[in-house]
Amino acid sequence: MKVKKIAVLTSGGDSPGMNTALRAVVRTCAYKNIDCVGVSRGYQGLINDDIKTLKTRSVRGIINRGGTMLYSARSDEFRTKEGREKAFSNIKKHGIDGLVVIGGDGSFTGGLIFQKEFGIPVIGIPGTIDNDLYGTSHTLGYDTALNTVMDAIDKIRDTAISHDRLFFVEVMGRDAGHIALNSGIAIGAQEILIPEQNMGIEGLISSLKDSKKNGKTSSIVVVAEGDKTGKNVFDLARQVEEEFPKYEIRVSVLGHMQRGGSPTCFDRVLGTKMGVRAVESLIDGVSGKMIGIDNGKIVSTSLKKAIKGETKIDPELIRVSRIMNI
């Protein structure tokens, strides 16, 4: 079947680079003489028929903007069969032949179900800062988030050094420690606590004692949201405080600022390449795949594998961080 019209949407948590990928999808469609429509607010926009034509000039000036021009949303209605039926009736009404979903694992799960139920081809672009999808070394927005976290902790470090303080900095990563591990190495953290590896409170205290013995007067501990050493970062700080009554301890939770900001050069190039390949894949009759990157090359993996496959922490990063925190 010849593809004549493609719809694109952004869904789940936003990430820097979503706009870049959207721009690439729209312009590739124009280049290939295919109509392109943008769906606002993720799957909810499909249900509500919030669908508009996007032309080359509709996406001007967004390559460097964080967030998503299409808005993102979480749609509970799309989790129901009735909701998805409404969404598909709008797909039919607009004559849409394929769907590009820019989002994370939840968005891909929804897309896969939708494809199975109604036969509409779906291609995923991994737009999430967490880097938690199998089949791509980098998700879109991850590099920007790493740089944002690094810049923020560099600033915290200045005040930590000036006041001889121990800072616990919580970064995003409920299930994956990629942001914590990479940013932790980049800012010279004393310890990096991630969900994949629990060093235990004793291990942490002993590392901090050693660092004090070795003359450190201030330290940063980077903690991924999903780390299980304490109940949460505040509980962790309290437990450590009991051992170091003379150390001034502070907690900083970076929060949503990690998701915002202008995408880095890496994410802009990545988003552009992914957007182009997503449209080309639909034209070639490919469906149910996620576009990824592996050693600089654009690749594709089945959405099913992308969601279910395990993304592993690089053991070399753990090894070098151990050497650095002497």
**Are the C-beta atoms of 279 and 29 separated by less than 8 Å?**
yes
Assess whether 76 carries a catalytic annotation.
no
Catalytic residue among 130, 143, 227, 267: 130
- Structure token pair of residue 227: 């780390």
Residue 304 within binding range of ligand ATP, rule CB under 6 A: no
Among 7, 8, 10, 13, binds ligand ATP (CB under 6 A): 13
Q: List, in order, residues 6 or more apart from 30 with CB less than 8 Å away.
A: 36, 55, 56
Q: CB nearer to ligand ATP: give 131 or 219.
A: 131
* Region of 17-25, 102-110, 155-163, 281-289 interacting with ligand ATP (CB under 6 A): 102-110
Which residues ranging from 24 to 43 are in contact with ligand ATP (CB under 6 A)?
43
Please classify residue 124 by burial: count the beta carbons closer than 10 Å to its beta carbon, then call 0-12 exposed, 13-18 middle and 19+ buried.
buried
Q: Which is nearer to ligand ATP, 78 or 167 (CB)?
A: 78
Q: H or E segment at 212?
A: helix 200-213
128 in contact with ligand ATP (CB under 6 A): yes
Selected binder of ligand ATP within 32, 65, 74, 238 (CB under 6 A)? 74
Residue 155 tokens, joined: 């600033």
Q: Report which DSSP code applies to 63.
A: T
Residue nearest to ligand ATP (CB): 106
Give SS3 for 176. Answer: coil
Token output for 185: 């190495």
Beta bridge partner(s), residue 248: 165
Q: Is 79 near ligand ATP (CB under 6 A)? A: yes
By CB under 6 A, what part of segment 151-190 binds ligand ATP?
none
Kindly tell me which of 141 and 230 has the beta carbon lying closer to ligand ATP.
Answer: 141
Q: How far apart are CA 78 and CA 87, in angstroms?
A: 8
The footprint of ligand ATP (CB under 6 A) covers 11-13, 43, 74-75, 78-79, 103-107, 109-110, 113, 128, 130
Catalytic residues: 130
